[in-house]
Amino acid sequence: MGRDETETYITVPSFFKCPISLDVMRSPVSLCTGVTYDRASIQRWLDGGNNTCPATMQVLRTKDFVPNLTLQRLIKAWSDSVGRYAAGSPAPNRRVPTTEEVNESLSRLGLEKDDEIRVEILSRIVRFVKDSDANRAFLSGNNDFAPMLVDIIAAGDGGIRTTTKIKLVLLALRILDAIKGDRERLSNLMLANGGGCLTAILLAIQSGNLESKIESVRVLEWIASSDAKSKLVIAERDGILQELIKSIGTESDPSLIEASLSLLITISKSKRVRSKLIAAKTITKIKDILLTETTSVAVAEKSVKLLEMLSSKREGRSEICGSDGGRCVEGVVKKMLKVSTTATEHAVTILWCLCYVFREDKTAEETVERCNGVTKLLVVIQSNCSPMVRQMAKDLIKVLKLNSSASALATYETKTTHITPF
């Protein structure tokens, strides 16, 4: 194979992707809101008892959907085109390698010194791992492959960062994201070389394309979930937290936001990390997500889960209540009963922490009352939430009702004090 036959990555038109699964739709159907989803994804959403459009969160007048035949034809034509030609390359050059060819490529990869040829080899392996679960399992079971990939990533932290070296790092991360492998072993390999891998991954997050950023973040989450030490090493690596916080801005792609939130949740088990996140104004970013009407289900769930973790610290609660006059609390109330049972349970837990357990700032209670939170909590009590969360809702209602009664009494006493006698 010539050296110019490197991998070309195909950009999928955004309207071909299902808003729920983010995969290319096989059977696109449209809801009454006009939003199109893959049939299997939206059917699972509706079968779960939801009565809203996942993308817009509008209440559905009807749960019927209509096949989008025009879009289905467009996707079919595009898929056929991609199958025949990939960025101008004939299909034979992009065929999926056989297992024997991959074994040969692995042997060659361990000996090859030319980076251009190594890019070709990794590009072939990417096609192999993307093709099937069986292929991914085959490579995941190869004990020598992960160390080779880690060495390639670590080398990306070298003094000379050529375009080819960066491409090698991105391809290695793409493969690792696909095959995962032994979590503990991969974590030990990644973190054992003085931080070279983390530096290379940070570079991929900073300068890679969207797909590379997401893959890099997912690889970090995989190794971070190995043990407490891995979480701390990743969280305290200069630049990583800053990039993750930047990635959850509302202007970012939803898939990148979701992946970054997942990693932040994973590494936030440590109190020290939670303090760092609070100091870095992560709560302001979460507030903006919660106040965005079109937030996806997965992003909304992860946002309130991370906020719940940050609310365990006093400075976190202070930031939540003081964030733009209680707007963060308003966002929490808005997501109750509007996203999913999971999001509702996290939201109730946050409010219970702010208004019932600690009660350090009356802003939270006032905001819950102002945003019709009491009515929502009454519904939560009758919902399918866990018994513990339903009890939390009852506790909150008691506190909020007492506040309302005290407020009414204070108003009455103020008025009577100023009555002028005849």
69-73 contacts, C-beta under 8 A, 24 or more apart: 71/15, 71/16, 71/25, 71/28, 71/36, 72/25, 72/27, 72/28
Task: Flag whether 171 is in a domain.
Answer: no
Rounded-to-integer distance, Cα 8 and Cα 283, Å: 38
The residue among 373 and 12 whose pLDDT is bigger is 373
pLDDT on residue 94: 58
Count Cβ atoms below 10 Å from residue 243 Cβ, excluding itself: 16
* Percent of the chain surpassing pLDDT 90: 46
In a domain, 200, yes or no: no
The tens digit of pLDDT for each residue in 297-347 reads 999 999 999 999 999 999 999 999 986 778 999 999 999 999 999 999 999
Average pLDDT, integer, range 254-273 = 94
In a domain, residue 358? The reply is: no
Residue 26 maps to a domain: yes
Summarize pLDDT for 105-120 with one digit per residue, the tens.
898 888 888 888 888 8
Residue 30 is part of a domain; what is its CATH number?
A: 3.30.40.10
Asked whether residue 44 is domain-assigned, the answer is yes
Does residue 24 register a pLDDT over 60?
Answer: yes
- Tokens of residue 316, six digits: 């976190």
Four-residue CA torsion sign, 213, 28, 92, 148: positive
The answer to whether residue 295 is domain-embedded is no
pLDDT recorded at residue 11: 66
- Of 19-23, 25-29, 48-52, 410-414, give the range with the top mean pLDDT: 25-29
Residue 57, domain extent: 14-87
Among positive and negative, which fits the CA dihedral 393, 397, 399, 403? positive
In a domain, 288, yes or no: no
Count of structural domains within the chain: 1
With 90 as the cut, is the pLDDT of residue 93 above it? Answer: no
pLDDT (0 to 100) of residue 406: 43
Residue 404 pLDDT more than 60?
Answer: no
Q: Residue 164 has what pLDDT?
A: 85
Average pLDDT estimate for 193-215: 87
Residue 150 lies in a domain: no
Q: What is the mean pLDDT of residues 31-58?
A: 87
pLDDT > 70 fraction of the chain, expressed in percent and rounded: 87
Tokens of 161: 């960062």
**What is the predicted pLDDT for the residue at 83?**
61
pLDDT value of residue 207: 85
pLDDT of residue 417: 41
Structural contact between residues 333 and 365, judged by C-beta atoms closer than 8 angstroms: no
Per-residue pLDDT band at 76 (split at 50, 70, 90): confident
pLDDT band at residue 194 under the 50/70/90 scheme: low
Q: How confident is the model at residue 89 (pLDDT cuts 50, 70, 90)?
A: very low
pLDDT attached to residue 286: 95
